[in-house]
């Protein structure tokens, strides 16, 4: 039996979905995308300590495409209105970050969704032991992205 854990955070934006998407296509390459940045730096150090990529900043220029690297993520898919990234960090499973922008009232509803496919019992333990921290971090991240996508 396969299990995928998920945690989603929705924010309403005062801009049309197309405008939010245009900003989203510029994600990464700049620490301002990753809030709270200090926690992402600590995560990068921990990842590097266990042989992972660590916290790398940078991205290719131009439109995103599958396989592109965005900081410490790989683009899995990019198809308006959804972007899906896979973490390059060393984990007991596979982590994803997805974001969608869809019409909502006079503006846009952005949903930021973190997902984790655990690998064995250690993966399940990892998810549950980090859930509270992940909820806080990804809620703050959703706030930050909502701000950036509304500019």
pLDDT per position in the chain (151 positions), as tens? 689 999 999 999 999 999 999 988 888 877 667 777 777 777 778 778 877 777 777 787 778 899 998 888 899 999 999 999 999 888 899 999 999 999 999 999 999 999 999 999 999 999 999 999 889 988 998 999 899 888 8
The predicted model scores a pTM of: 0.89
Q: From residue 11, how far is each of 100, 139, 141, 144 by CA, in Å? A: 11, 10, 11, 10
Write down the pLDDT at residue 27. 85
Write down the pLDDT at residue 7. 96
Write down the pLDDT at residue 82. 97
Write down the pLDDT at residue 31. 67
Which domains are assigned to the chain? 5-149 (3.30.530.20)
Task: Indicate the burial class of 132 (C-beta count within 10 angstroms; 0-12, 13-18, 19 or more).
Answer: exposed
Report the DSSP beta bridge partners of residue 8: 113
Write down the pLDDT at residue 121. 96
């Amino acid at each position: 039996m396969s299990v995928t854990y998920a945690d989603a955070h929705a924010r309403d934006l005062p801009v049309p979905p197309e405008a939010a998407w245009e900003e989203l296509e510029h994600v990464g390459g700049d620490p301002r995308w990753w809030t709270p940045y200090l926690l992402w730096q600590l995560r990068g150090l921990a990842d590097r300590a266990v042989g992972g990529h660590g916290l790398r900043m940078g991205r290719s220029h131009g439109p995103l495409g599958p396989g592109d690297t965005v900081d410490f993520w790989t683009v899995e898919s990019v198809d308006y209105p959804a972007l899906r990234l896979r973490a390059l960090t060393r984990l007991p499973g596979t982590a994803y970050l997805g974001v969608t922008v869809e019409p909502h009232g006079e503006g846009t509803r952005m949903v930021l969704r973190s997902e984790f496919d655990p690998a064995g019992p250690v993966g399940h333990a990892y998810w549950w032991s980090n859930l509270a921290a992940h909820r806080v971090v990804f809620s703050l991240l959703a706030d930050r992205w909502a701000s950036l996508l509304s500019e």
